[in-house]
Chains A and B, each alone.
Chain A
Amino acid sequence: MKVQSKLMRKVLVGAVATALVGGLSTSAMAADYPSKPIEMIVAFGAGGSTDTMARIFAKYAEEELGERIVVVNRPGAGGEIGWVHLANADPDGYTIGLINSPVVEVYPFTREETVGYSLDEIRPLANVITDPGVLAVSADSPYQTLDDLVAAVKDDPQSVIISHEGIGGDDHLAALNFAEEAGIDLSFVAYNGNAEATASLLGGHISAFEGNMSEAAAQIQDGKVRGLAVWADERVEPIAGVPTGKEQGYDVQAAASRGFAVPAGVPQEVYDMLLAVTRDVVENPEFQAEMDQLNMPINAIYGQDYVDFINDSHDRLKSLWEKDPWIEQ
């Protein structure tokens, strides 16, 4: 409702502005960009992993841009609220936002009836972090490899219970992907975040948990939790002892990626400038060191490549969804 009226106002103001200043607006605007603080929309709460990355990034980007970046948290609906705000913001370069793949590209079809944005309204800028999925068990668990787990499920489907962080989220999709590869059905339990799931795993209340590497790394390094598999092409540094799924014969790739995007329609000059700034920050060794410390693996994908990355993932997941929806309709 609010979004609509804002849109109306934007259209009106835009029409009046174009009528008044004619053609010179965009290039003149781009020339002195940025001339006021830039708003960075984070679609998750303050203090979470997306927020932490955004704030560290903002610190470096401010130096590059010479202008303040105000991080604004607009959490809700698993990120959707923030992305609706991003999609509806003025495309003048003064609003940018973080998008989280794969969830940003699945909502338009899994929530087809109600979703408040479409991928056409958001133009991806650059991916920064790709945090691979991890399947882990507690250190005293009988399962040493994926094969052990699969054998146990085949023996008694009810004996293995795996946690994920919300249906339709990246963890759930990763576990489903694995189940399909292995030809088994898994019993799931939903947890609200890594903390509760880890407590339940360590307490022996569930048999395994599916989460992200950055969250599980500390527990794995401490030896309380054993990683069964990391869903990446090759092993990842902070938990190099954990084999990939591929090594064990289950070719599953799953990760949560975090990158930046702008509202569609941002002037090309502004887009290029933001892209250059992002590149400078991501390639800054100090920024990389901070990300390292947080166990967040950098995976830089810039500009058109990132747009393709999001679109490919969208198409792949959509065809999977159409074949076998993971949320019953």
Chain B
Amino acid sequence: MTLDTIDRGVAMLMGVLCGVVVVVGLGMRGDAGLFPAIAGTLGLLACLGIGLDTLRSRPPDELPPTLPWQRFTVWSLCILGLLGLMVTVGTFVALPLFLLTSLRWLGHLRWAAALTIAITFSALIYVVFVHLLTVPLPAGWLVD
């Protein structure tokens, strides 16, 4: 896909969304909908402009940099895992696991190095946030 194709898609999608915002905004009570309608119209105009711009014959239409899908998927799964484990099992189980996995499989560090960084960094977070700043991070099953 070239950037122009992507822009056209984005313009279509955002244009429809902005249109919905305008319609919903105009239906709001009092003057509450005035600003949503104005902002939506502005977005609609921008989408129109972007769409028209892609149709203009312009010399080289660039390709976006290629996306390494495999690494992208692994990384996204790591993050989902981190968030999922944080709220169920607890922050200080999720953190070292997340760091270890991502450092090992994305950073290709040795096991020992990955483990050391994972544990020191989690400990640092624990000291700073739980001890110094008394942030009640989700503790999960460790405490309950």
Contact = CB atoms under 8 A, between A and B. Distances in A.
Nearest to B144: A13
A14 B134 CA distance: 27
Interface string A308-329: 0000000000000000000010
B144 A39 contact: no
B50 to A, nearest CB: 34
A29 interface: no
B136 interface: yes
Contact of A70 (B29, B87, B136): B136
Interface of B: 29-30, 87, 134, 136, 144
A39 B136 contact: yes
A138 B133 CA distance: 41
Closest 5 CB pairs of A and B: A72-B136, A70-B134, A328-B29, A328-B30, A70-B136
Interface in A20-79: 39, 70, 72
Contacts of A39: 136
A70 B133 CA distance: 11
Contacts of A70: 134, 136
Contacts of B29: 328
Nearest to A68: B134
B142 to A, nearest CB: 14
A328 B30 CA distance: 9
A34 to B, nearest CB: 16
9 contacts: A2-B87, A9-B144, A13-B144, A39-B136, A70-B134, A70-B136, A72-B136, A328-B29, A328-B30
Nearest to A10: B144
